[in-house]
């Protein structure tokens, strides 16, 4: 696995798996990490935390309620916790649960990373939906929404990431807990997300076979 990790991330530039890697490596020593559902869980599972990151508690919605309430869960935890809470979510789960922010409480310890590939890449990857010609019509929810509008509505800080050279600096500012909810929107596309994920899995498979 270590060989696959080194091979993959020495070759990639800007894609969703690279963003998750940089984020996980930058997390505070003590925090709650929320993974919304589906791809965010898969990415974090593949990249993983290091053995030294023992103060990070991971909460996952996978296998329970789908995309329902992923953001609300992170918001509720942030309301009852003094430590930083970081949510990694996809675009569909995020926009589906936008009313999680419709309350009267300040959440200075909440950070949200939205992986926006405009439709939910999972159905391009899994067996079944990923192999049928009707996937675009019946499984993919194409959308062109931006988290920037939501951030403006609720008065949250917002940063948009579209290239690798901004990522490290943006993460440093993003993970400063200085008084406001912050949203980082990572703009991607379904094709590059699929290519990156498939390549990472290929490297992992080859590392076990060699």
Model confidence pLDDT, tens digit, residues 145-186: 999 999 999 999 999 999 888 999 999 999 999 888 999 999
Whole-number Å distance between alpha carbons of 199 and 182 = 31
The answer to whether residue 210 is domain-embedded is: no
The answer to whether residue 205 is domain-embedded is: no
For 90-156, give the DSSP string: EHHHHHHTGGGG-SS---TTEEEEEEE-SS-GGGGTSTTGGGSTTHHHHT-------HHHHHHHHT-
- CATH number of the structural domain spanning residue 178: 3.40.50.970
Q: Which domain holds residue 132?
A: 2-117+124-199
The answer to whether residue 209 is domain-embedded is: no
CB 176 within 8 Å of CB 109: no
The answer to whether residue 157 is domain-embedded is: yes
The answer to whether residue 21 is domain-embedded is: yes
Whole-number Å distance between alpha carbons of 178 and 171 = 14
The answer to whether residue 35 is domain-embedded is: yes
Please give the model's pTM, rounded to 2 decimal places.
Answer: 0.89
Q: H/E element holding 50? A: none
Could you give the C-alpha distances from 96 to 16, 60, 67, 70, 71, in angstroms and in order? 20, 17, 7, 9, 9
Query: Based on the structure, what is the number of domains in the chain?
Result: 1
Per-residue pLDDT of the chain (210 residues; tens, 9 = 90+): 677 777 777 766 788 899 999 999 999 999 999 999 888 998 999 899 999 999 999 999 766 667 889 999 999 999 999 999 999 999 999 999 999 999 999 899 999 999 998 876 666 666 665 566 666 665 667 788 999 999 999 999 999 999 888 999 999 999 999 888 999 999 988 888 888 888 888 888 887 876
Whole-number Å distance between alpha carbons of 208 and 210 = 6
The answer to whether residue 25 is domain-embedded is: yes
Q: Give 12: exposed, middle or buried? Use CB within 10 Å, 0-12, 13-18, 19+.
A: middle
Q: H/E element holding 85? A: strand 85-90
The answer to whether residue 23 is domain-embedded is: yes
């Amino acid at each position: 696995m270590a060989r696959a990790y080194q091979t993959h991330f020495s070759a990639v530039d800007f894609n969703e798996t690279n963003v998750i890697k940089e984020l996980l490596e930058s997390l505070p020593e003590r925090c709650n990490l929320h993974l919304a559902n589906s791809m965010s869980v898969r990415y974090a599972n593949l990249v993983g935390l290091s053995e030294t990151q023992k103060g990070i508690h991971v909460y996952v919605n996978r296998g329970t309620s789908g995309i329902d309430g992923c953001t609300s869960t992170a918001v509720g935890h942030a309301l009852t916790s003094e430590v930083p809470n970081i949510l990694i979510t996809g675009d569909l789960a995020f926009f589906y649960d936008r009313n999680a922010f419709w309350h009267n409480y300040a959440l200075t310890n909440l950070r949200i990373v939205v992986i926006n590939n405009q439709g939910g890449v999972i159905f391009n990857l899994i067996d079944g939906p990923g192999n049928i010609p009707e996937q675009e019509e019946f499984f993919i929810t194409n959308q062109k929404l931006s988290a920037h509008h939501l951030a403006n509505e609720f008065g949250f800080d917002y940063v948009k990431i579209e290239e690798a050279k901004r990522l490290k600096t943006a993460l440093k500012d993003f993970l400063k807990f200085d008084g406001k909810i912050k949203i980082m929107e990572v703009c991607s596309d379904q094709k590059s997300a699929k290519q990156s994920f498939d390549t990472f899995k290929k490297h992992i498979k080859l590392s076990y076979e060699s």
